[in-house]
Amino acid sequence: MKPKDENLQMRENDKYLYRLPGRVTSIYMFSTRTGNFPIGFRKGWAEWQKNVPELGKWAKDEGFAMVDVGSNASDAQAIVSCGLKVGSVDLGCWQGLIDQDSGAKKNALDAAETLISDCSKVGAKNFFAVMLPRDPSKLRPENFELMVSGLSALAPILEKHGSKLVIEGWPGAGALCCTPESLRATFGRVPSKAIGINFDPSHLIRMGINPVPFVSEFADRIYHVHGKDTALYPEATYDFGTEISATLAKEHGFGAQGWRYAIPGHGVSNWVTIFEILNHKGYTGGVCIELEDENFNGSAEGEKRGLIASAQFLSSC
């Protein structure tokens, strides 16, 4: 029965918020309408997010269910102590996994095992990485072989602790595992199910890859999802293309001329369809907002507004 207190308000997902003057205090956790996936966010770099216990308290108060943290087991513990889940932990040593120096690779694997072991004890099971090689000037096939070697050595460590590697396809300098072609090749050579994907449609969209068939093809390897979108500007693409930086014109923050990263709902991703596919395929993880949007980043007030607006939109999808 709907409460009669006028301070109680229904949201899109039929849950309640208690509104106090000047703020909102949550009595539920954000989750998606489709699939009921818990919603959290990725810890950013701004000053207000550096105190992790305080960040966790704010997240809990506002109705977030989880937080992605950096490569620090104590941060994972702090988030759990706030009554939240850890969405993912940055592996941190990923470049060392793609290094031709055997000593550097061993150091990276040792560091990874320590972090994975420590974080697993507090229930953190997803370890975030971008497959950036130590030397991006090498030919891609050479770096691919180095990556296969590193991931093959990492997989048993992850399996031992019941953990997963979640690879994000950010197309940085020399980055591997960004496209369907490169992921098929990776999973073909490293078949361990401990090696998986952090699905972030924003990176696919900026590369011209449709995220809907991507999520259908790789759903069984998607263990974590980032809630981030991309806005497209086709008229600017005519002037600037997609490969060359602008000569004189100012580019978008968190983007270029023809595209920019945006909060969910301000870009072109079809989140309802994405969640429908994930739900149908049996996905049981969460959705963590990665806030990179020129309209919200830059101040604590703006970033909090962007995170809450993103969660409200995703909860309606």
Residues in a beta bridge with 68: 42
3 part of a folded domain? no
| CA angle at 219 for the pair 115 and 312, rounded to the nearest 5° | 80
pLDDT tens for each residue of 31-40 = 999 999 999 9
Q: What is the domain count for the chain?
A: 1
Whether the pLDDT of residue 302 is over 50: the answer is yes
Q: pLDDT by residue (tens digit) across 69-120?
A: 999 999 999 999 999 999 999 999 999 999 999 999 999 999 999 999 999 9
Instruction: Answer with the residue of higher pLDDT: 4 or 112.
Output: 112
Structural domain of 76: 8-315
Q: Is the pLDDT of residue 42 over 90?
A: yes
User: Does pLDDT of 52 surpass 60?
Assistant: yes
Interval 10-15 mean pLDDT: 38
Does residue 299 fall inside a structural domain? yes
Mean pLDDT on 259-266:
97
Residue 224 vs residue 8, higher pLDDT: 224
Least confident window among 134-138, 251-255, 282-286: 251-255
Q: Measure the CA–CA gap between 276 and 272, rounded to whole angstroms.
A: 6
pLDDT attached to residue 245: 83
CA 187, 192, 195, 199 torsion: positive or negative?
positive
pLDDT band at 244 (very low <50, low <70, confident <90, very high): confident
Strands 164-168 and 287-289: unpaired
Residue type, 36: N
- C-alpha pair distances (Å), 275 with each of 87, 94, 128, 291, 317: 17, 29, 21, 19, 8
Do the domain assignments include residue 138?
yes
1 occurs within a structural domain: no
Domain-embedded: residue 48: yes
Asked, for residue 302, whether it belongs to a domain, the answer is yes
Interval 230-254 mean pLDDT: 89
The pLDDT-based confidence of 20 (bands split at 50, 70, 90) is very low
Residue 2 domain-assigned? Answer: no
Q: Say yes or no to pLDDT of 188 above 90.
A: yes
90/115 Cα distance (integer angstroms): 9
Question: What pLDDT does 27 receive?
Answer: 54
Tell me the average pLDDT of the chain.
91
Query: Average pLDDT of 262-274?
Result: 98
Dump pLDDT digits (tens) for 130-169.
999 999 999 999 999 999 999 999 999 999 999 999 999 9
**The model's pTM:** 0.91
The reply to whether 228 falls in a domain is yes
Residue 208: CATH number of its domain: 3.20.20.150
